[in-house]
Amino acid sequence: MKAAAEVEKDTGKVMKNRDQKLISVYGVADLNNGAIGLYNTGLSCCLNSLLQVFFMNRHFTVILRRITVPFSSAEQRKNVPYQMLLLLEEMQRGKREAVYPLELSRCLSLHGVELFVQHDAAQLLLILWNLIKSQITNMDLVERLTALYTIWVQEYLVCQRCSFETNRDSHMITLPLPMFDSRSYLLRTLEDSLQCFFQPEQLTGNDMCFCEQCKQKTPCLQGTRLKHLPLTLTLHLKRFYCKKSTRTQKISHSLPFPQSLNFNDILTQEQCHTDAKDKVDWQYDLFAVVAHLGSANFGHYCAYTRSLTDHQWYCFNDSSVCQVSWDDIKCTYGNADLRWGETAYLLVYMKKNPQQPHP
């Protein structure tokens, strides 16, 4: 009896450790399951990778779990956030290593998202975001979702003769970062790319703009100022480009990115348009990497995400899920000599200590 009791005690410890590990992977995961993969249903690696990044973000899943369920079955089949919720619950409820995202794929096809084609991760992310936001009926949840992902900037144009400025505010969910500077030199680091994005451009000659105050075309300074950064910040490395009369090509050269990012150390005061209180909140930790393997015309996506509780990294490669190290993440920096190598395409950062944490 004593031996049996000891075995039961040891088994209980093993199960407790296992449950704690599963909690750390998903944060709000069902204790009967852990990190679950998604089967590739035919060139769906891009969708699978983006879904895993969404689902590993507990700030997003809290919003997703509070949506209003559509009334009719027809509306449910066409509702993207509802189908995402069903998929998330299936992943957390089942006992399989992976599940099929078939119903969500069918739902997306009803909204013009083609199946069995290669998608660009940045473009598909924007499509998903717009569908999710437009189909959530609770306006409070829409505001929370917007605050979670939206970047606010100010675009400006300054006359170099009279200093008259025109500007407008705009927003985006990804910050599109260049791989080359204004002289077509390759940028060396992510910080260099951020500085280049916010570097103003001189408009002269044929590029001069009409100044309302001077009443004529004048040399101008055109640029973008950063106004507000969200809790979840997505950076888009523009690795794909088109040359005249040629097909799309991929830039595979190395662009290192840090585990921690402080915009106060990167941007100048002139490149920002915000108050000091907001800038205190501009410190980030890397949360996820959507990486692309292959060429511009034929490739594969996978996602690396960091658990928000145990801070361990996991690789989601369709139906395969495994724990990885920071050295594995650094392999996605890129390599100009490996044109088919794995390169980071989307970088997702999370605020370290937000002053107003998202509910």
3 state SS for 217-254 = EECEEEEEEEEECCCEEEEEECCEEECCCCCEEECCCC
What sign results for the dihedral spanned by CA atoms 141, 144, 145, 146? positive
> Is-catalytic flag, 45?
yes
Element (H, E) at 350: strand 342-351
> Which stretches does DSSP call E strand in 147-219?
151-159, 165-172, 174-177, 201-203, 209-211, 216-218
Element (H, E) at 304: strand 299-306
Contact 36, 48 (CB under 8 A): no
Q: Locate tokens 């049996």: which residue?
A: 4
CB atoms within 10 A of CB 298: 8
Give the pairing type, strands 98-99 and 37-38: parallel
The single-letter code of the amino acid at 218 is T
| 3-state helix, strand and coil shares in percent for the chain, rounded to the nearest 5 | 35, 30, 35
Give the active site residue among 292, 300, 302, 315. Answer: 300
Give the active site residue among 45, 159, 272, 315. Answer: 45
Contact 61, 53 (CB under 8 A): no
> Is-catalytic flag, 214?
no
Q: Locate tokens 């990167």: which residue?
A: 266
Q: What tokens were used for 37?
A: 């993969």
Q: Locate tokens 């009334």: which residue?
A: 71
- The residues that are catalytic are 45, 300
